[in-house]
Structure 1
Amino acid sequence: MTTGFAAMPSSASYRLTRARAPLCLVDAGGLAADRDGLALIDIAVEAGRIASILPAGTGTLADGPALDLDGGIVLPRLVDAHVHLDKGHIWPRRRNPDGSFMGALNSVMADREANWSATDVRARMDFGLRCAFAHGTAAVRTHIDSLGKQIGISWPVLAELRAEWAGRIAIQASPLFGIQFALDQSHVRDVVAAVKTHGDGLFGCVSYMIPELDAALDIVFSTAIENGFDLDFHVDETNDPQARSLENIADAAIRHRFTGRILAGHCCSLAVQEPEAEARIIAKVREAGIAVVSLPMCNMYLQDRAPGRTPRWRGVTALHELKAAGVPVMIASDNTRDPFYAYGDLDLIEVLREGTRILQLDHTGNDWANAVARTPSAIMGQEGRGVLSPAGPADLILTRARDWTEFFARPQANRSVLVDGRAIDTTLPDHRELDHLMGGRS
C-alpha cells in the first residue's frame, strides 16, 4: 500500500521516526514540545499496537525497519462526537430553499416522509461511514431521527451497520426528536424500546424554549435515570438571546442529581447573551457536568442568514469561555450534504482546520487538537481512542505537514491512515454511487 510517504514497511514490527505529534494527545513521559505544542518522537509499532513512544533519535535499530516521517505531524485516528448519518447526502433531491434553519427542517421532514426506507437510509449511512473511515475517523456518534414510523426503520439499520463496521469505526447513536415529544408517553416508550434493543445507552432530544420545557426535561432526565442512559441534546440552535434552554438543562441535571454523561450540541445563543447571563449559564453548565460540542461549519452556514444581508456573527457558541471555565469542549462534523449543511465529508481534519479559523483557536493555546480526539473520546466512553499511548492501537494519521501553519494551509489530501498499524485504502467513495437514490431532485 502506498502512502503520502514512501511505501509503509511490510513488517509487523517497524518504527516511525522523526514524527511530530501534539503533546496534548500523547500519553508518554520524557517528551518536550516546541512552540506549537508538538513533540518530535519515534513511534515503535509491534503487531498493530504502539510498543513505545520515545524522543526522536533514542530508539534502537533492533526495533525493526524504519520509515522517516521527516518531521511530519502524526495524529491518532480522530473521534467525531456529533454527526447525522441518516440525513447525509440527500441534498441532490431535497435542497434547502433559502439556507435557513426552518428551510432545512422542513426540507428534511418532507424528504424523510417520502424517501427514508431502510434501503435508502442504509446506503447513505454506509456511504458516510466510508468517507469518515478513509479520512481517518475512529469513532462517531450519530443522531437518529426518531419520530413515528422512522423509529422502526432507522434503528435496526443502525444496529446492522454498527456490527458490520466493528473493528473499523465504532458507532454510537442517540435518538433525535423535538423536546415537546417527551410529553408523549407513548413516544417515549417507543424510543426507549428502540434504544434498548438497538442502541448504545444514549437518550436525547432537541431542546428549545417551550412553555412546558422544565416538565419535558424532567421526563427526559427521569427516563435516563430509570434506564441508565447518558444524555445528548441539541440545544438553542438560534441567535435569539431569549433561547436559554441550556440553562434549563443544567438546572434539570442539578435538580435530578444526574450522574451520567451529558453532551450539549450547538448552544449557539449562548454567544449572544449579555455577559452576566453568559457567565451564569456557563457556571451552571460546569456544575452540572455538561460537556459542549460546537459544530462550526454547519452553524456558520445556517446562523444569522437573511436574504441580501451580510451575516454579523459566525454562528458558533462561546467555546473559549466554556473551556476557560473548565467545561469539556469539542468540535464535530454535524451534517453532510443535506439541507442543514450543503457541504462537508465527515473529515475531522477539515473540521479542525475550519474550526480553527471560525473559532480563532490558533492564538489560545496548543491543546485544541483535543477537541477532535481526546475529549470526544472521553465523553463517548471510547477508552484508548483519540490518543497516542504505549500499548494502545497503532491507529494513526500521518501527514507531511511539519507545523500547524503547514497543516492548516492545505487539506492534507495526501494523508496516510493506519488501522492496527497497517495502511488502509484512503480512496473516497464517488458521489455517483448514490445517484440511484436521487431520482426526485428538488
Structure 2
Amino acid sequence: MSYSFISPPNAGRFVLSNATLPAVAVSGYEAPVDEGLVKADIVITDGLVSAILPPGGAPGEFAKSDLKDGMVWPCFADIHTHLDKGHIWSRHANPDGTFAGALDAVREDREAHWSAADVKKRMEFSLRCAYAHGTGLIRTHLDSLAPQHRISFEVFDEVRDAWKDKITLQAAALFPMDAMVDEPYFDDLVAVVRDKGGLLGGVTKMNPDLNWQLDTLFRAAAENGLEVDLHVDETDDPGAQTLKAIAEAVLRNRFEGKVTAGHCCSLARQDDGIAERTVAMVAEAGISIISLPMCNMYLQDRYPGRTPRWRGVTLFKELAAAGIATAVASDNTRDPFHAYGDLDPVEVFREAVRILHLDHPLDTAARVVTVSPASIAGRAEMGRIAVGSPADLVLFSARRWSEFLSRPQSDRVVLRRGKVIDRSLPDYRELDSVVGA
C-alpha cells in the first residue's frame, strides 16, 4: 500500500479521511453501521487521535490523506504466545507433529540450549515480527521449571523494559501443576513471578490431586496479588474436564483476581449437557477463554495416516453467547507445537474467522484480536480507536470484509503515535547463529 500524504503522517496534525473502521473497536463515535463497519475521518494531532468525525467533517485546513475507504484498525492485542519457544523448529523439529512429540522436542531443546542469550535472541526476533505486523500488546507464557524460571523471567524483564515504548508485554509462568509438590521450588517460582510483575500459569491435567493443586495455586495467587492464566484441556479426550474443576476452584476459593484459560479443546468433544453445565459455571466464575485456532488445528486429532475429524478448537460461540470474555491469539510460532506462524494477528484473525465460523455476519468479529484480548489483559484502553488515545493504527487498502479476508494484507501501513514505522521483517538468517540454518 502507498498513501500520498499531503503532509507526511510524521507531521503534527493531519487527517486520515474516508476511512472504514471496525465499529466494535471504535469508542465514542456514532455512525451508520454496515456489517460492523463505519465510515469516518480520523484527526491526528501530536501523535494522538484528537477527533473521529463523519467523512468530510475534518477542518479544511488540515492536511489530509484520502484512504479511499481503506480500513483502519487499532493495533492488535495477542495475549497467548510463547516467545521463549519461538523459532526453534530448525534446531529441534517435531518428528511427527503430535502433542507428545512437541513435549519431548521442547524439553530436549530447553535442556540443551535455553541460555539467557539464546532466549533473548529469539524473543527479540519474535517481537520485531509482531511490531512490524502492528501488534501493541503481547502476553507470553514462559516455561518455568527450575532453573529456567529464573533465566527466562530475568530475560523477559530486561526485554520488557527495552520494548516498553513499542509493545506492552506481560508474562505468565508455565509449569506442570504436579511440580507444586516441591514446595521450595513453587515458593521460589511465586516469588519470581511476583517480583517480575507476572502471572501464575500452569498446565492442568485430570489427576487425583487436581483440587489440591488448584486450591494451592489460587491461594498463592491471592496472597501475592497475582492473576492466573492456565493451559487447559489441550486434548481431544472428552474425559478431560479440568475447565470445570478450575471454575469450581475459583468459586470455592472465592478468588477475586482475573483468571484466563487457554485452549479448552476437550469442551467441544463433550456431550451437550456436560458442556453446557461447564460453560455456565465458567460464566459464574468469571473466567476468560482464549482460543488458539491455528495451533489447535495443527496439533489436535493428529494421528499417523488418518485425516483429522474435527477442528481442534473450543466451543467459542457458546462461551461468548454465555457472556464469557473470549479472544483468539497466535500461540506457538515455528516451534514443535506449531511449525508455522509469524505472530501476525491478521493471519490469526483470518484463520479464526474460517475455523471458528466467525462470519455471516462479521459484525463484531474484529473484537477477537483487538478490544476483547486487551480487556482480558487488563488494558481496556488498548485495542481500540478513541479520542485521546495514541494514534497506534494499522491501515489497510482493503475496503470490505471480502477484500480483507482474501489476502494477507502484507501491504498494510502501521502508525505508532501517528508516525509510520518501518515494517521490514527480520531475516531468518539472523537466527542462524543460535538455531542453525
> TM-score scaled to structure 2, two decimals?
0.98
Question: Could you tell me whether the CA contact under 8 Å between 2:371 and 2:380 is conserved in 1?
Answer: no
1:103 aligns to what? 101
Question: Could you tell me whether the CA contact under 8 Å between 1:9 and 1:66 is conserved in 2?
Answer: no
Distance between the aligned counterparts of 1:4 and 1:250, measured in 2?
49
1:17 aligns to what? 17
Moved more, 282-291 or 23-32: 23-32
Distance between the aligned counterparts of 1:344 and 1:360, measured in 2?
20
> Match for 2:296: what amino acid?
N
Superposed displacement of residue 199, structure 1: 2.9
Superposed displacement of residue 11, structure 1: 1.8
Superposed displacement of residue 259, structure 1: 1.1
Superposed displacement of residue 190, structure 1: 1.4
Match of 2:79 among 69, 81, 102: 81
Match of 1:115 among 91, 113, 116: 113
Partner-residue secondary structure (3-state), 1:317: coil
> Match for 1:171: what amino acid?
L
2:316 aligns to what? 319
2:172 aligns to what? 174
**Is structure 2 residue 271 aligned with structure 1 residue 274?**
yes
- CA displacement, residues 354-389 of structure 1 (integer Å, 9 cap, x when unaligned): 110111111255111111110111111114210000
Distance between the aligned counterparts of 2:362 and 2:251, measured in 1?
31
Moved more, 329-338 or 143-152: 143-152
Superposed displacement of residue 182, structure 1: 2.3
**Is structure 2 residue 131 aligned with structure 1 residue 125?**
no
> Match for 1:77: what amino acid?
C
State how 1:26-41 maps to structure 2 within 5 Å: 26-34=26-34, 36-41=35-40
**Is structure 2 residue 126 aligned with structure 1 residue 140?**
no
Question: Could you tell me whether the CA contact under 8 Å between 1:134 and 1:425 is conserved in 2?
Answer: yes
Distance between the aligned counterparts of 2:202 and 2:221, measured in 1?
12
> Match for 1:42: what amino acid?
D
Match of 1:375 among 372, 382, 386: 372
Moved more, 24-33 or 245-254: 24-33
Distance between the aligned counterparts of 1:272 and 1:4, measured in 2?
47
Distance between the aligned counterparts of 1:256 and 1:280, measured in 2?
20
Superposed displacement of residue 211, structure 1: 1.4
Distance between the aligned counterparts of 2:11 and 2:433, measured in 1?
42
- CA displacement, residues 82-139 of structure 1 (integer Å, 9 cap, x when unaligned): 0000000000010001000010011000000000000000000000000000000001
- CA displacement, residues 407-439 of structure 1 (integer Å, 9 cap, x when unaligned): 010000000000000000000000110001124
Superposed displacement of residue 59, structure 1: 1.8
Distance between the aligned counterparts of 2:208 and 2:171, measured in 1?
28
Question: Could you tell me whether the CA contact under 8 Å between 1:78 and 1:372 is conserved in 2?
Answer: yes
2:432 aligns to what? 435
**Is structure 2 residue 332 aligned with structure 1 residue 330?**
no
Question: Could you tell me whether the CA contact under 8 Å between 1:183 and 1:219 is conserved in 2?
Answer: no
- CA displacement, residues 278-302 of structure 1 (integer Å, 9 cap, x when unaligned): 1000000000000100000000000
Share of identical aligned residues, percent? 50
Superposed displacement of residue 204, structure 1: 1.3
Q: What number of residue pairs does the alignment pair up?
A: 435
1:296 aligns to what? 293
Superposed displacement of residue 28, structure 1: 1.8
2:57 aligns to what? 58
Superposed displacement of residue 233, structure 1: 0.4
Question: Could you tell me whether the CA contact under 8 Å between 2:10 and 2:420 is conserved in 1?
Answer: no
Superposed displacement of residue 29, structure 1: 2.9
Question: Could you tell me whether the CA contact under 8 Å between 1:155 and 1:199 is conserved in 2?
Answer: no
**Is structure 2 residue 397 aligned with structure 1 residue 397?**
no
Moved more, 363-372 or 202-211: 363-372
Match of 1:184 among 162, 178, 182: 182
- CA displacement, residues 22-61 of structure 1 (integer Å, 9 cap, x when unaligned): 1111002331211x21000000000000000111122221
1:44 aligns to what? 43
Distance between the aligned counterparts of 1:362 and 1:15, measured in 2?
31
Moved more, 178-187 or 243-252: 178-187
Report the CA distance shift for 1:198/1:29 in structure 2 as closer, same or farther (over 3 A).
Answer: same
Partner-residue secondary structure (3-state), 2:391: coil
Partner-residue secondary structure (3-state), 2:201: strand
Any gaps of 5 or more consecutive residues in structure 2?
A: none
Distance between the aligned counterparts of 1:223 and 1:100, measured in 2?
33
Question: Could you tell me whether the CA contact under 8 Å between 2:345 and 2:369 is conserved in 1?
Answer: yes
Match of 1:155 among 136, 153, 156: 153
Superposed displacement of residue 210, structure 1: 1.4
Superposed displacement of residue 197, structure 1: 2.1
Match of 1:252 among 232, 249, 252: 249
> Match for 1:67: what amino acid?
S
Question: Could you tell me whether the CA contact under 8 Å between 2:194 and 2:226 is conserved in 1?
Answer: no
> Match for 1:368: what amino acid?
A
Distance between the aligned counterparts of 2:189 and 2:365, measured in 1?
35
- CA displacement, residues 180-214 of structure 1 (integer Å, 9 cap, x when unaligned): 112321121111121122233x1111111111000
Moved more, 136-145 or 358-367: 358-367
Distance between the aligned counterparts of 2:310 and 2:66, measured in 1?
44
- CA displacement, residues 323-374 of structure 1 (integer Å, 9 cap, x when unaligned): 1111111000000000000000000010000110111111255111111110
RMSD (Å) for aligned C-alpha atoms: 1.1
Question: Could you tell me whether the CA contact under 8 Å between 2:77 and 2:135 is conserved in 1?
Answer: yes
- CA displacement, residues 55-87 of structure 1 (integer Å, 9 cap, x when unaligned): 11222213x200000001110000001000000
> Match for 1:188: what amino acid?
F
Distance between the aligned counterparts of 2:173 and 2:79, measured in 1?
14
Question: Could you tell me whether the CA contact under 8 Å between 2:132 and 2:424 is conserved in 1?
Answer: yes
Question: Could you tell me whether the CA contact under 8 Å between 1:11 and 1:65 is conserved in 2?
Answer: no
Distance between the aligned counterparts of 1:307 and 1:29, measured in 2?
52
Question: Could you tell me whether the CA contact under 8 Å between 2:266 and 2:314 is conserved in 1?
Answer: yes
